[in-house]
Structure 1
């Protein structure tokens, strides 16, 4: 199997987009069938997206909307450290990361409360 030019190894390889989408889908507890339904595509097409290391921008855009996830900001985290972004982008990215961390911690607190029988 021959690689396409964008799939060749470089000093800064891009992340596997299909794996990234699958991870977000699992973290958000959305099934493959549900995501396919939201996108109005077949489950087999959805499965193909997960196998692809790269996806067209429009597909990634639609996946982001369907999963309520900002893949574009997440992708910017994979750029080499020597690339500088404008300050607003950095602040927005940091705020999103902290918000995600807070949400994760709040979920964890709910789990612990439930395990201990503590009601809100």
Structure 2
């Protein structure tokens, strides 16, 4: 049993980051050796990441940069359904425009 509080189950369990990473690499068609090469670490290090329920932010950041893929947005998408997520004002403005245009099309 872990002594780390963040690993204890609670009301909002977070995704297992290692499993998330393995699935994301598979989805992106990036092999473990290729991910290791891009990160400058050993293949065994990447395999160790797969087993970790949590990874340091710096590792997730480096993986995003190495893969040229926004892993953080994918993790944010896993927040609970009604979780308040900061939105880009431009996106909110575009969503308003879309609603206006839909209203015009319904006429």
Q: With the length of structure 1 as denominator, give the TM-score of the two structures.
A: 0.68
Instruction: Report the aligned-residue RMSD.
Output: 1.9
Structure with max Cα Rg: 2
Deviation at 1:81, TM superposition (A): 2.7
Structure 1 equivalent of residue 81 of structure 2: 81
> Which residue in the other structure is 2:62 paired with?
62
Mapped partners of 1:10, 1:54: distance in 2: 15
Q: How many residues align?
A: 91
- 1:4 pairs with 2:26: no
Show CA shifts across 1:2-42 (max 9, x none).
35211100111000111111111111111111110111101
Residue 30 of structure 2: aligned partner? 30
Which whole-Å CA distance do the structure 2 matches of 1:82 and 1:31 have between them?
Answer: 35
Whole-angstrom CA distance in 1 between matches of 2:34 and 2:86:
36
Deviation at 1:48, TM superposition (A): 0.5
Match of 2:96 in 1: none
- Structure 1 counterpart SS, 2:69: coil
CA distance in 2, matches of 1:42, 1:54: 19
Deviation at 1:47, TM superposition (A): 0.6
How far apart, in 2, do the equivalents of 1:2 and 1:20 lie?
21
**Partner Cα distance (2:60, 2:14) in 1:** 14
